[in-house]
Homo-oligomer: A and B are copies of this chain.
Amino acid sequence: GHRGVDASGETTYKKTTSSTLKGAIQLGIGYTVGNLSSKPERDVLMQDFYVVESIFFPSEGSNLTPAHHYADFRFKTYAPVAFRYFRELFGIRPDDYLYSLCNEPLIELSNPGASGSLFYVTSDDEFIIKTVMHKEAEFLQKLLPGYYMNLNQNPRTLLPKFYGLYCVQSGGKNIRVVVMNNILPRVVKMHLKFDLKGSTYKRRASKKEKEKSSPTYKDLDFIQDMPEGLMLDADTFSALVKTLQRDCLVLESFKIMDYSLLLGVHNIDQQERERQSEGAHSTSDEKRPVGQKALYSTAMESIQGGAARGESIDTDD
């Protein structure tokens, strides 16, 4: 991987410090989203998937870009009009996107997994930013028309939500990042987490994983610990199965086979017990889940990676 740590202890990616990368991402997205919203809305065309917008950010500033404390860099936005359309479909308003990503600090995930990617989450827990390799970015770009088709026909899809694909170019290096939905926000505590592939071959969480405070279990653990499965009402069940079937068809058509269903279980009874044992310490402005909240996602492993959840997933099968 390209991830490292420098002498001061700061994380680096391709020798670029995390703070520099965060700064460039925030400047770049700020510019590109602002620039887009000045252009009138229009239909997405086939060509829009292949567009790459590029803007230069000299450290002394220009008439388009502000001055900054990093080295000169170039910021590239892939398929800006297409991703604007996707964000709109996902109900993300330009202002909210801008605010979450650019006006609040990005938080680096400390336990980012084995893929060598760097992960950031926005302060409001809404978005994940992940560095991707050249091949992954290229692959995602090629997938966009098919991704568009899936979103249109299958709006309940559990495949990752992609909000943007960008590249920071500096000192001859390209750092590509993708902005996605955060599938396990901290607001709702997951009492159990499973990474399910529908396979039983070596599908048990490692000892090391199980020692974590919030381990991600696998298929064999699920069979053993939840022999009766999960109870879903009939409508939810059939909708879920149908969505998974449709998603699998899309993954198959993309020739992606290394994917899994990340299942987070929020146990309401357990939550209530925990709250009562904590006493009456909770205050009214504390964020708290309202009722049961189901957060399923079929992770597109080859792009999002198990590490998107801040866990290291053993690549044992």
Contacts and interface: CB of A to CB of B under 8 A. Distances in A.
Nearest to A45: B253
Contacts of A244: none
A42 B253 contact: no
A153 B46 contact: no
Contacts of A190: none
Interface stretch (A12-20, A126-134, A143-151, A207-215): A143-151
Contacts of A153: 43-44
Contacts of A43: 149-150, 153-154, 246, 249-250
A109 to B, nearest CB: 33
Contacts of A45: 146, 149, 249-250, 253
A290 B139 CA distance: 53
Interface in A251-267: 253
A44 B146 CA distance: 9
A216 B236 CA distance: 57
Interface in A108-139: none
Interface string A38-62: 0000111111000000000000000
Nearest to A146: B46
A302 interface: no
A154 B44 CA distance: 10
Interface in A42-90: 42-47
A200 interface: no
Nearest to A253: B45
Contacts of A150: 43
A44 B152 CA distance: 10
- Kindly name the residue among A47, A149, A153, A253 whose own CB sees the greatest number of chain B CB atoms within 10 A: A149
Interface in A223-273: 246, 249-250, 253
B44 A149 contact: yes
A42 B149 contact: no
A41 B9 CA distance: 55
Contacts of A47: 253
A142 to B, nearest CB: 10
A79 to B, nearest CB: 13
Given A43-B149, A43-B246, A148-B149, 10 more contacts: A42-B249, A43-B153, A43-B154, A43-B250, A44-B153, A45-B146, A45-B249, A45-B250, A47-B253, A145-B145
Interface of A: 42-47, 145-146, 148-150, 152-154, 246, 249-250, 253
14 contacts: A42-B246, A42-B249, A43-B149, A43-B150, A43-B153, A43-B246, A43-B250, A45-B146, A45-B149, A45-B250, A46-B145, A46-B253, A148-B149, A152-B152
User: Which 3 interchain pairs have the tightest Cβ spacing?
Assistant: A46-B146, A45-B253, A43-B153
